[in-house]
Amino acid sequence: MKAVIRVLMTVLVCGAGLTVTAPAAAGAVVAAPTVSVVAPIAVPAMIPVSGLPNWPVLSQGSNIGWPAATVRSLQYLLNAHGACLVVDGVFGLRTDAVVRSYQRAHGLVVDGIVGPRTWSSVIITVQRGSIGPAVKAVQDEANSRGPNSQGPPLAVDGILGPKTDAWVRAFQNAIAGHVIGFTEDGIVGPLTWSLLVTGEKPDPLYQSP
């Protein structure tokens, strides 16, 4: 799995069997022992849901280490709560002010730092039929990962229609192949959001080069 989840790697399981011929009769030519080797078998590594990556921690500045789409998702989500941010992927003064205002209004620590508590509060669960900025965040996250097996980029139109639904399900299905207890249901809830904003690119949806 080409992703930040480095533990989702392929485990190679191999075995070898040694077969030795029975003793030959006196005077017969003794054949050399034969060795049979079982070819390696690729077994996908599985981790529990509890082993998934933590939410990103963002604050005013460059936020090196996180994709620009992560900041854009934050801006889209804040807009879904009534803000009017320009979605540019830059965590500047305006985004910082909106984050602090949101934290104050929702009983969170007002520090301008977007960590697990702020993410858990600001995300909006979406599914087929949903509309608005939160859906744009999902579509932008899908496109930010580059080419995938689901076809051309999605229109970032804020409408969770058949194509966006198909991508969400394909993303979830690819994750479910590595994570025990992860469900493919087409609903972008907390677990799916956390994997979107951390930049996961799971195989086979996104093949390794």
pLDDT (average), residues 25-31: 53
Minimal CA–CA distance to 138: which of 97, 171, 179?
171
Convert the pLDDT of each residue in 77-108 to its tens digit.
999 999 999 999 999 999 999 999 999 999 99
Q: What is the pLDDT of residues 101-156, one digit of tens each?
A: 999 999 999 999 999 999 999 999 999 999 999 999 999 999 999 888 888 899 99
Neighbour tally for 113: CB within 10 Å:
17
DSSP 131: B
Q: What is the pLDDT of residues 43-69, one digit of tens each?
A: 456 888 888 889 999 999 999 889 999
Contacts 24+ apart (CB under 8 A), 182-191: 182/49, 186/127, 186/128, 187/125, 187/126, 187/127, 188/125, 188/126, 188/127, 188/138, 189/125, 190/120, 190/123, 190/125, 191/49, 191/52
**CA quadruple 122, 52, 68, 2: dihedral positive or negative?**
negative
pTM of this prediction? 0.78
Domain 48-197 fold = Muramoyl-pentapeptide Carboxypeptidase; domain 1 (1.10.101)
Largest CA distance in the chain: 95
Domain boundaries, the chain: 10-44, 48-197
